[in-house]
Amino acid sequence: MDFLELVKSRYSCRSYQPASIEAEKLDYVMECVRFAPSAVNRQPWRFRVITDADALKTLCQCYRRDWLATAPAVIIASVLHDEEWVRFDGKHHGDIDVAIAVEHLCLAAAEQGLGTCWVCNFDAPLCHSLFSLPENEDPVALVPIGYPADTPKEKTRKTREQIS
Protein backbone atom coordinates (compact mmCIF):
# COMPACT_ATOMS: atom_id res chain seq x y z
CA MET A 1 0.00 0.00 0.00
CA ASP A 2 1.50 3.37 -0.95
CA PHE A 3 1.00 6.45 1.20
CA LEU A 4 -1.95 7.82 -0.77
CA GLU A 5 -3.75 4.49 -0.51
CA LEU A 6 -3.08 4.45 3.23
CA VAL A 7 -4.39 8.00 3.64
CA LYS A 8 -7.53 7.12 1.69
CA SER A 9 -8.07 3.90 3.64
CA ARG A 10 -8.22 5.70 7.00
CA TYR A 11 -11.72 6.69 7.96
CA SER A 12 -13.67 7.54 11.10
CA CYS A 13 -14.63 4.14 12.45
CA ARG A 14 -17.73 4.29 14.67
CA SER A 15 -18.29 0.60 15.39
CA TYR A 16 -15.72 -1.90 16.63
CA GLN A 17 -15.42 -5.65 17.03
CA PRO A 18 -14.96 -6.75 20.64
CA ALA A 19 -11.56 -8.38 19.93
CA SER A 20 -8.69 -6.75 21.80
CA ILE A 21 -5.67 -5.41 19.91
CA GLU A 22 -2.51 -7.50 19.78
CA ALA A 23 0.23 -6.01 21.97
CA GLU A 24 2.67 -5.87 19.01
CA LYS A 25 0.21 -3.84 16.94
CA LEU A 26 -0.41 -1.41 19.77
CA ASP A 27 3.35 -1.09 20.32
CA TYR A 28 3.84 -0.40 16.60
CA VAL A 29 1.18 2.30 16.61
CA MET A 30 2.63 3.93 19.73
CA GLU A 31 6.10 3.85 18.19
CA CYS A 32 4.71 5.84 15.26
CA VAL A 33 3.25 8.31 17.77
CA ARG A 34 6.60 8.61 19.53
CA PHE A 35 8.36 9.68 16.32
CA ALA A 36 5.92 12.45 15.43
CA PRO A 37 7.51 15.87 14.98
CA SER A 38 6.79 18.68 17.43
CA ALA A 39 7.67 22.35 17.72
CA VAL A 40 11.22 22.68 19.14
CA ASN A 41 10.99 18.90 19.67
CA ARG A 42 9.18 19.49 22.95
CA GLN A 43 6.96 16.39 22.57
CA PRO A 44 4.44 18.01 24.94
CA TRP A 45 2.07 15.06 25.06
CA ARG A 46 0.79 12.10 26.98
CA PHE A 47 -1.09 9.17 25.43
CA ARG A 48 -2.99 7.08 27.98
CA VAL A 49 -4.15 3.77 26.53
CA ILE A 50 -7.33 2.71 28.30
CA THR A 51 -8.24 -0.98 27.97
CA ASP A 52 -9.64 -1.82 31.40
CA ALA A 53 -13.41 -2.43 31.10
CA ASP A 54 -14.32 -0.30 34.12
CA ALA A 55 -12.08 2.56 32.99
CA LEU A 56 -13.60 2.41 29.49
CA LYS A 57 -17.07 2.62 31.02
CA THR A 58 -15.97 5.65 33.01
CA LEU A 59 -14.51 7.24 29.88
CA CYS A 60 -17.81 6.79 28.03
CA GLN A 61 -19.37 9.29 30.45
CA CYS A 62 -17.28 11.95 28.71
CA TYR A 63 -18.72 11.23 25.26
CA ARG A 64 -22.20 9.78 25.37
CA ARG A 65 -22.44 7.93 22.08
CA ASP A 66 -23.26 4.21 22.23
CA TRP A 67 -20.68 3.40 19.57
CA LEU A 68 -17.76 4.52 21.72
CA ALA A 69 -18.52 1.67 24.14
CA THR A 70 -17.84 -0.86 21.36
CA ALA A 71 -14.12 0.05 21.24
CA PRO A 72 -11.80 -2.39 23.03
CA ALA A 73 -9.41 0.49 23.72
CA VAL A 74 -9.56 4.27 23.79
CA ILE A 75 -6.50 6.50 23.87
CA ILE A 76 -6.68 9.79 25.75
CA ALA A 77 -4.36 12.15 23.86
CA SER A 78 -3.37 15.10 26.03
CA VAL A 79 -1.22 18.18 25.70
CA LEU A 80 1.19 19.06 28.51
CA HIS A 81 0.87 22.81 28.68
CA ASP A 82 4.01 23.26 30.77
CA GLU A 83 6.12 21.56 28.05
CA GLU A 84 4.67 23.07 24.87
CA TRP A 85 6.48 25.66 22.78
CA VAL A 86 5.00 29.16 22.83
CA ARG A 87 5.91 31.56 20.01
CA PHE A 88 7.08 35.13 20.70
CA ASP A 89 3.57 36.43 20.05
CA GLY A 90 2.03 34.07 22.61
CA LYS A 91 0.70 31.42 20.21
CA HIS A 92 0.72 28.02 21.91
CA HIS A 93 1.77 25.07 19.74
CA GLY A 94 0.93 22.07 21.94
CA ASP A 95 -2.43 21.34 20.31
CA ILE A 96 -0.76 21.34 16.88
CA ASP A 97 1.89 18.90 18.14
CA VAL A 98 -0.72 16.58 19.63
CA ALA A 99 -2.78 16.72 16.43
CA ILE A 100 0.20 15.59 14.35
CA ALA A 101 0.91 12.72 16.74
CA VAL A 102 -2.76 11.68 16.78
CA GLU A 103 -2.79 11.52 13.00
CA HIS A 104 0.37 9.39 13.08
CA LEU A 105 -1.62 7.15 15.42
CA CYS A 106 -4.62 6.96 13.10
CA LEU A 107 -2.58 6.28 9.97
CA ALA A 108 -0.37 3.67 11.66
CA ALA A 109 -3.51 1.96 12.96
CA ALA A 110 -5.05 1.97 9.48
CA GLU A 111 -1.89 0.36 8.10
CA GLN A 112 -2.29 -2.38 10.72
CA GLY A 113 -5.92 -2.99 9.72
CA LEU A 114 -7.24 -1.17 12.79
CA GLY A 115 -9.95 1.46 12.89
CA THR A 116 -9.80 4.75 14.80
CA CYS A 117 -11.83 7.92 15.13
CA TRP A 118 -10.82 11.36 16.27
CA VAL A 119 -13.16 12.47 19.05
CA CYS A 120 -12.83 16.09 20.21
CA ASN A 121 -16.47 16.77 21.04
CA PHE A 122 -16.11 15.23 24.50
CA ASP A 123 -16.29 16.65 28.01
CA ALA A 124 -12.59 17.33 28.57
CA PRO A 125 -12.96 18.82 32.08
CA LEU A 126 -14.98 15.74 33.14
CA CYS A 127 -12.34 13.44 31.64
CA HIS A 128 -9.67 15.37 33.53
CA SER A 129 -11.48 14.94 36.81
CA LEU A 130 -12.67 11.33 36.36
CA PHE A 131 -9.13 10.17 35.60
CA SER A 132 -7.51 12.47 38.17
CA LEU A 133 -5.16 13.82 35.52
CA PRO A 134 -2.33 16.10 36.64
CA GLU A 135 -3.00 19.81 36.35
CA ASN A 136 -0.63 20.31 33.38
CA GLU A 137 -2.31 17.53 31.35
CA ASP A 138 -5.15 18.72 29.13
CA PRO A 139 -7.04 16.08 27.12
CA VAL A 140 -7.26 17.12 23.45
CA ALA A 141 -8.79 14.06 21.80
CA LEU A 142 -10.15 10.63 22.56
CA VAL A 143 -9.12 8.03 20.00
CA PRO A 144 -11.03 4.74 20.06
CA ILE A 145 -9.02 1.99 18.39
CA GLY A 146 -9.83 -1.58 17.41
CA TYR A 147 -10.87 -3.83 14.57
CA PRO A 148 -13.65 -2.18 12.55
CA ALA A 149 -17.17 -3.57 12.58
CA ASP A 150 -18.41 -1.02 10.05
CA THR A 151 -17.45 0.00 6.53
CA PRO A 152 -16.23 3.40 5.37
CA LYS A 153 -18.65 5.89 3.85
CA GLU A 154 -17.79 7.59 0.59
CA LYS A 155 -15.35 10.44 1.24
CA THR A 156 -16.40 13.98 0.45
CA ARG A 157 -13.45 16.29 0.04
CA LYS A 158 -12.77 19.70 -1.46
CA THR A 159 -11.14 19.64 -4.88
CA ARG A 160 -7.51 20.58 -5.53
CA GLU A 161 -8.69 23.85 -7.04
CA GLN A 162 -10.70 24.69 -3.92
CA ILE A 163 -7.77 24.22 -1.59
CA SER A 164 -5.03 25.98 -3.51
Ligand X SMILES: Cc1cc2nc3c(=O)[nH]c(=O)nc-3n(C[C@H](O)[C@H](O)[C@H](O)COP(=O)(O)O)c2cc1C
Site membership for ligand X, residue 21 (CB under 6 A): no
Task: Report the C-alpha gap between 111 and 7 in whole angstroms.
Answer: 9
C-alpha–C-alpha distance, residues 118 and 151, integer Å: 16
Given candidates 117, 124, 127, 145, which one binds ligand X under the rule CB under 6 A?
A: 117
Phi-psi region of 40 (alpha: psi -120 to 50; beta: other; left: phi over 0): left
Instruction: Give the one residue of 119, 124, 127, 143 binding ligand X; rule: CB under 6 A.
Output: 119
Examine residue 143 and tell whether it contacts ligand X (CB under 6 A). no
Applying CB under 6 A, which of residues 54, 155, 162, 163 lies at the interface with ligand X? 155
List the one residue out of 72, 37, 91, 48 whose CA is nearest residue 149: 72
Tell me if 45 contacts ligand X by CB under 6 A: no
> Which region, judged by CB under 6 A, interacts with ligand X, from 35-43, 107-115, 116-124, 126-134?
116-124
Tell me how many helices (H) and strands (E) the chain has. 6, 4
Q: Does 70 bind ligand X (CB under 6 A)?
A: no
Is the Cβ of residue 12 or residue 51 nearer to ligand X in the bound state? 12
**Distance, CA of 73 to chain centre:** 11
State which residue, 19 or 120, has the beta carbon closest to ligand X.
120
Beta carbon of residue 24, minimum distance to ligand X (angstroms, whole number): 25
CB 78 within 8 A of CB 140: yes
User: According to the binding rule CB under 6 A, does residue 158 interact with ligand X?
Assistant: no
Determine the interface stretch with ligand X among 22-30, 33-41, 73-81, 113-121 (rule: CB under 6 A): 113-121
Residues 56/50, Cβ–Cβ less than 8 Å: yes
Question: Where on the chain is the footprint of ligand X (CB under 6 A)?
Answer: 11-12, 117-121, 155
